[in-house]
Amino acid sequence: MKSMTGFAEGRFELEAIALYVSFRSWNHRFLEVAFKGSGVNPETEKWFKDIMKDNVSRGRIEVSFDLFQQDQSKYAIQLNEPLLTGVLDKLVHLKQPYGENITLSMDALLKIPMIFRLEYAAEHFAEKDAAQIRGCIEKVFKDFLHSRETEGLAMAAGLLGNCDKIRANLETIKAEADQVEKEIFTRFKEKIAKYLGELEPDERRIVQEAAIMAEKGCINEEIQRLETHVKRLNVLVHDPRLEVKMERKPISWPRK
C-alpha cells in the first residue's frame, strides 16, 4: 500500500555540473505532474517522464529541477525583445509629462521579470553527463517512491488497527443484539397495554405490532454488512492488486 503524499530531494556535484532535484506529491484523484526550475526544458522533461512512467498512477506531483553548469556554451540566453520594446516605449511616453529625469539603468532593466531567460541546451550534453544527470534523477525518484511506501505502511497499520477495534466491538454488539431486540418487543407490548387501559386488548394485534417494532430495531443486517466491509478492507490493504480500478483521465503534464 502506497500513500499519494511523499517528498524527496537531492543535491549533486558532478564534474562540471551541479544540480538540485526534488519530487513532492499530494493527494489527487488522477495523475498530474508540474515542472519548475532552471533546468526544465522539453528534453529534461522527457527524462523525468521516462523515469516516472509505470511507477506512479495517481497524485499531484511537483518536480523541481535546477541545473548549474560552468561551461557557458551550454546555456542558451533568450532575450524577450517584444517585452523590452514595450518597456522602452512606456518610458518615452512618461518622459513627456515628467521630464528627462526618468531613466532606466541597465541594472534596473535586468531586474524586470522575463526580460532575459536562461535555458540549457540539453542536446549539447555529452552522453556521459546526460547519463549522470539521469542517474541522479533516478536516485531521488527512488527515494520519493520509498517515502510514499513508508507513509503507506503507516497508513495500512492504522487501518488494520481500526479494523481490529471494529471487529472487537462487533463481537460485543452481536452478543447484545438479540437481547436488545427482545427488550424492544417487551417494552412496546407493555406500552400498548398501558395506553389501552380498561379497553379489551387484542393480544394478537399487540404481539404483531410489537414484532414489527422489534424487526425495525434489528441490526443483524448492518452487522453483517460491516463485517463484510472490514474483511474487504483487510484484503485491499494486504493485496492492493485487488483494488477496484477507478476511471482515469489522460495524464497531464502542466509546466509552471
pLDDT tens for each residue of 100-146: 666 667 777 667 766 766 665 555 677 888 889 999 999 999 999 99
Distance of alpha carbon 53 from alpha carbon 130, whole angstroms:
19
Let me know whether 165 and 233 are in one domain: yes
Same domain, 164 and 109: no
Can you tell me the mean pLDDT for 38-66?
A: 89
Q: 15 or 142, which is more confident? A: 142
- Residue 251: inside a domain: no
Q: What φ, ψ does residue 219 adopt, rounded to 5°?
A: -120, 15
Instruction: Mean pLDDT check: name the lowest of 50-54, 139-143, 156-160, 219-223.
Output: 219-223
* Stretch 196-223: mean pLDDT: 67
Does residue 203 sit within a domain? yes
161 lies in the same domain as 213? yes
The pLDDT-based confidence of 237 (bands split at 50, 70, 90) is confident
127-196 and 42-52 helices, crossing angle to 10°: 50
> pLDDT of 61-92, one tens digit each?
999 998 877 666 556 667 777 877 777 777 77
Same domain, 160 and 108: no
* Stronger pLDDT, 248 or 10, i.e. the higher one: 10
Q: Total structural domains in the chain?
A: 2
Q: Is residue 39 one of the residues assigned to a domain? A: no
203: domain range?
A: 155-242
Task: Scan for cell 427482545, then name that residue.
Answer: 182
Q: CA–CA separation, 201 vs 188, rounded Å?
A: 14
Q: What is the pLDDT, as a whole number, of residue 70?
A: 62
253 assigned to some structural domain: no
- Would residue 144 count as lying in a domain? no
Q: What is the mean pLDDT of the chain?
A: 77
Q: Cα dist. 57→28, 33, 251 in Å?
A: 10, 11, 9
Q: Which helix (H) or strand (E) holds 178?
A: helix 127-196
Residue 93 resides in a domain: yes
The pLDDT value recorded for residue 98 is 61
**Cell numbers linked to 137:** 534523477
**How confident is the model at residue 26, as a pLDDT?**
93
Q: How confident is the model at residue 35 (pLDDT cuts 50, 70, 90)?
A: very high
- 217 found inside a domain: yes
Q: Which amino acid is located at 238 in the chain?
A: H
Query: pTM higher than 0.85 for the full model?
Result: no
76 three-class SS: strand
Spatial distance between the Cα atoms of 27 and 194, rounded to a whole number of angstroms? 59
Select the more confidently predicted residue: 198 or 23.
23
More confident residue, 235 or 205: 235
Domain-located, residue 159: yes
* Angle between helical axes of 203-216 and 127-196 (0-180°, round to 10): 160
Do 225 and 173 share a structural domain? yes
- Residue 139 burial (CB < 10 Å; 0-12/13-18/19+)? middle
d(CA 222, CA 181): 14
Predicted confidence band of residue 95 (pLDDT cuts 50, 70, 90): low
Rounded to whole angstroms, the Cα distance separating 106 from 87 reads 13
Q: What is the per-residue pLDDT for 15?
A: 80
Q: Verify that 106 and 172 share a domain, yes or no.
A: no
